[in-house]
Structure 1
């Protein structure tokens, strides 16, 4: 945080010096106003590029490691986990049944079991809890 404050303070001081120098250069008649405006525009352009690069580097990649111990601890079977992954993809019960080659009632049973094991009332809440427990790699 201190480094960011120092960098921005230095930028502000540098801009103030640039403005003062351009004012004196213009008053003395050594340089035209168009050149001063162009120099200031170029300086602001490079400051914008610098700030953009700093903000792009700060993005963190979320930890998507799956915790298999937590899956076993919750008592989620392999098939229930497959259903949970399909739910996280936004598929309906019918689509999950077609994907996993099981009946729709079997999928409903697995979803019901998942809701109980994850202590959730809705599918979206189950997905959120699964992400929080690091059992879904999304």
Structure 2
């Protein structure tokens, strides 16, 4: 029984393949000009996109300029600005302390002062607000 089913399946698959091949031959003969035009259009469109990307000069992003007016109005110290910048790097308090050569408690104190001056409660909020104010890139 299974052998018969497999033979019928194979015969149907060969029939379908033959019909698709005949249809392909008909389509390529009946619409050969249109097919060539579409292929040329796609090729030239791709070439145009590639050339446009390669030949268009890209301007460098502007250099980051820290908002000194916001720093003065908030009363941030140079160390607090440095802490804020390092907070954005995603390092833990211990990693910040090790990098700055100070104790973790001192880092926590600086972070608490930054939170207080920015009027935020969490690290992510401090980073968002600092970016909005132009304090960090």
Q: Which runs of 5+ in 1 are unaligned?
A: 1-30
Instruction: Find 2:39's aligned residue among 30, 35, 41.
Output: 41
Tell me by how many angstroms 1:103 deviates: 0.3
Summarize the alignment of residues 58-137 of structure 1 with structure 2, pairs less than 5 Å apart. Answer: 61=61, 64-137=64-137
CA distance in 2 between counterparts of 1:62 and 1:118 reads: 26
RMSD: 3.1
Q: TM-score, normalised by structure 2?
A: 0.64
C-alpha separation between the residues in 2 aligned to 1:49 and 1:66? Answer: 42
* SS of equivalent residue, structure 1 residue 79: helix
2:122 & 2:36 partners in 1: Cα distance? 59
**Structure 1 Cα separation of the partners of residues 47 and 92 of structure 2:** 45
Residues 43 and 119 (structure 1 numbering): CA distance in 2 closer, same or farther, change over 3 Å? same
Residue deviations 1:17-62 (CA, integer Å, cap 9, x gap): xxxxxxxxxxxxxx963342122122134345656858x99x9957
Question: TM-score under structure 1 normalisation?
Answer: 0.63
Task: Tell me the equivalent position of 1:21.
Answer: none
Aligned match of 2:3: none
Structure with max Cα Rg: 2
Q: Give unmatched runs, 5+ long, in structure 2.
A: 1-28
Deviating 4+ runs (over 6 angstroms): none
